[in-house]
């Protein structure tokens, strides 16, 4: 379980969070905090650590493989600057990623059609965050090319990392892990991200950009509740 903090942040704080620690213990995961840093100009010109294919992804994979002694599936969660890393890493090495969550990035690369099996992903953003438009547009473009993604807009939040959303992200990852361990479990469901309802038959094919994929039906009430009043967020220290 790789946790990626905001711009040039230290992942140690994230791995010390009791919620992530408890989750990792329960799910028997190795918890890893990302601590990369680049010049701000490099983060914007496509050469910094945000861009996994330019070197940071290889550094991460090599470190993980040394730690585990064999390639293991990766879960990734990143906020702000960490969302940049997470989304691009999953695009670069989809075969290594089981599922990922990118929470509020300011700009994104276009997801391209791919013949490879792409991992489950979730894009989230506060609805009062100036990054909302870019984040939602990225989700819609991904769905348009068939990515099995979920959208989570958080009313009333600006550029903050919301504690209740983190709890939902962990439930999302837990559902993915359960499915990996027991493939015969019931399938997930498509949801209508605008109506906050289960999607009508065929909507995911006729209008993919208004639908998202939940890996387990039991997540539906919690996902729908994200549209309600959410409190307990913490102001982000890193604005990118």
124-162 per-position pLDDT tens digit: 999 999 999 999 999 999 999 999 999 999 999 999 999
Instruction: Name the residue among 138, 127, 111, 122 with its Cα closest to residue 209.
Output: 138
Of 7-11, 26-30, 177-181, 232-236, minimum mean pLDDT range: 232-236
CA distance 128 to 5: 20
No. of helices (H) and no. of strands (E), the chain: 9, 11
3-state class of 116 per DSSP?
coil
- How far is residue 98 CA from its own chain's centroid? 11
Kindly give the residue spans of alpha helices, DSSP state H, lying in 81-219.
Answer: 81-92, 132-144, 163-181, 203-206
**218 within a domain of the structure (yes/no):** no
pLDDT at 230 (0 to 100): 39
**196 within a domain of the structure (yes/no):** no
pLDDT at 238 (0 to 100): 37
pLDDT at 187 (0 to 100): 82
pLDDT at 228 (0 to 100): 66
Q: What is the CATH number of the domain that holds 134?
A: 3.40.50.1820
C-alpha separations of 151 from 99, 109, 212, 217 in Å: 14, 17, 6, 15
> What sign does the dihedral 71-76-82-86 (CA atoms) show?
positive
**67 within a domain of the structure (yes/no):** yes
Q: Is the model's pLDDT at 237 over the cut of 70? A: no
**70 within a domain of the structure (yes/no):** yes
**222 within a domain of the structure (yes/no):** no
pLDDT at 114 (0 to 100): 84
Strands 160-162 and 189-192: unpaired
- For residue 8, what are the domain limits? 2-108+117-183
3-state class of 209 per DSSP?
helix
**204 within a domain of the structure (yes/no):** no
CA distance 32 to 102: 16
**220 within a domain of the structure (yes/no):** no
Number of domains within the chain: 1
pLDDT band at 89 (very low <50, low <70, confident <90, very high): very high
CA distance 135 to 108: 8
**210 within a domain of the structure (yes/no):** no
């Amino acid at each position: 379980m790789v946790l990626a903090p905001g711009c040039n942040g230290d992942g140690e704080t994230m791995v010390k969070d009791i919620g992530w620690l408890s989750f990792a213990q329960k799910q028997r995961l190795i918890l890893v905090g990302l601590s990369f840093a680049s010049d701000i100009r490099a983060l914007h010109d496509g050469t910094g650590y945000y861009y996994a294919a330019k070197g940071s992804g290889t550094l991460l994979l090599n470190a993980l493989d040394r730690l585990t002694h064999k390639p293991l599936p990766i879960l990734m969660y990143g906020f702000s600057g960490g969302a940049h890393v997470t989304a691009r890493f999953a695009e670069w090495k989809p075969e290594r990623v089981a599922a990922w969550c990118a929470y509020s990035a300011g700009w994104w690369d276009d997801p391209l059609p791919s013949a490879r099996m792409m991992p489950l992903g979730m894009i989230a953003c506060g609805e009062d965050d100036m990054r909302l438009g870019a984040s939602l547009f990225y989700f819609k473009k991904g769905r348009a090319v068939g990515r099995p993604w979920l959208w989570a807009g958080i009313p009333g939040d600006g550029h903050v990392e919301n504690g209740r959303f983190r709890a939902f992200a962990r439930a999302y990852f837990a559902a993915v892990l359960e499915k990996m361990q027991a493939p015969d479990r019931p399938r997930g469901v498509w949801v209508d991200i605008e109506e906050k309802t289960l999607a009508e038959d065929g909507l995911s094919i006729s209008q993919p950009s208004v639908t998202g994929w939940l890996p387990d039906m039991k997540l539906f009430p919690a996902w729908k509740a994200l549209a309600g009043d959410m409190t307990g967020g913490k102001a982000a220290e890193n604005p990118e």
